[in-house]
Amino acid sequence: MAAWLATPPGAYLLAWEQRHLDAEVADVFGFHALQLGLPALDALRNNRMPHRWLAVDVAHRLGSATPDASAPSRAVALNCDFDALPFDSQSLDLVVLPHTLELARDPHQTLREVERVLMPEGRVVIIGFNPTSLWRMRQQVGRARRCFGLGAGTSLYLPREGDFIAYRRLRDWLRLLSFEVETGRFGCYRLPVHSELWLARFGWMESIGERWWPVLGAVYALTAVKRVRGMRLVGLVRDQRPQVGGSSAVVTRQVRHREVRSLAQEMAEHE
């Protein structure tokens, strides 16, 4: 993944993701934020939380993820397993997963760990490759040519590691964990070419693709909020209803008795 990000398509994708995250995490408030994976992307640089961490799951990546002295806003790096996070339950306000679930050994457990460490009303931002995009189609064509021996020397367009997760499938996973999807967006609509020059020439496809075929972007990003359902004391309200109805019935009967008594007195006086 790190080697692919150094290519022109990878740099183009990384720039789009950085712009999106800068806008998405700017107004998320709290005290503790965490980025899981992809040290080449500074997902929390525009966030103002006092405690921010960058976690990687492979020890030798810590060298590239160590904060630079010239960039004080860079997150602190730590090494941990993504499916067993070293944080207390309900202790984080924001977790960012840039292509983390695709490369995780157990994406379901990783997402469950994120739900565990997030506080109620905490947010998770997930970025992943879109399996229904032109880039993915180019990847499948390259694998088919390799399988039939037609292009053994050709390289794949996307990273060969990881298992791409569909956008709707990920929404279903989040719904099962009591997350509510707040925003969702697709991006990177340029044709899958290797040259930086041709990527720049296809820049006009960004606005057209976002308008006419938004779900065919090469990458998607969504933000979800952890919801915790509260309790409602319906039983107490139900027990109070007969008491209110009974008291009103007693008052009605007393009024009717008074009217009958006064009517009888008037008839006796008239006689």
- The reported pLDDT for the residue numbered 210 is 79
The verdict on 14 and 53 lying in the same domain is yes
The verdict on 152 and 269 lying in the same domain is no
The verdict on 154 and 271 lying in the same domain is no
Domain that holds residue 250: 232-271
User: How many residues are present in the chain?
Assistant: 271
Amino acid symbol at 267: M
Ranges 32-36, 39-43, 205-209: which has the least confidence:
205-209
Residues 6+ apart with CB under 8 A from 111: 101, 173, 174, 177
The verdict on 95 and 211 lying in the same domain is yes
Ranges 48-52, 68-72, 136-140, 192-196: which has the least confidence:
68-72
The verdict on 121 and 219 lying in the same domain is yes
* Banded model confidence at residue 110, pLDDT cuts 50, 70, 90: very high
The verdict on 173 and 246 lying in the same domain is no
The verdict on 134 and 9 lying in the same domain is yes
What's the CA gap between 75 and 183, in Å, rounded? 25
- The reported pLDDT for the residue numbered 133 is 82
pTM for the full predicted model: 0.75
| CB of 64 closer than 8 Å to CB of 38 | no
- The reported pLDDT for the residue numbered 237 is 47
The verdict on 37 and 164 lying in the same domain is yes
Assign residue 21 the CATH number of its domain.
3.40.50.150
What's the CA gap between 257 and 111, in Å, rounded? 69
Higher pLDDT, 253 or 131: 131
Summarize pLDDT for 122-131 with one digit per residue, the tens.
999 999 999 9
The verdict on 170 and 62 lying in the same domain is yes
* Structural domain total, the chain: 2
The verdict on 130 and 59 lying in the same domain is yes
The verdict on 161 and 187 lying in the same domain is yes
The verdict on 147 and 239 lying in the same domain is no
Residue 204: DSSP 8-state? G
User: Please, what is the average pLDDT of the chain?
Assistant: 80
Write out the E strands in the chain.
Answer: 32-36, 51-56, 76-79, 92-98, 118-129, 179-187, 219-226
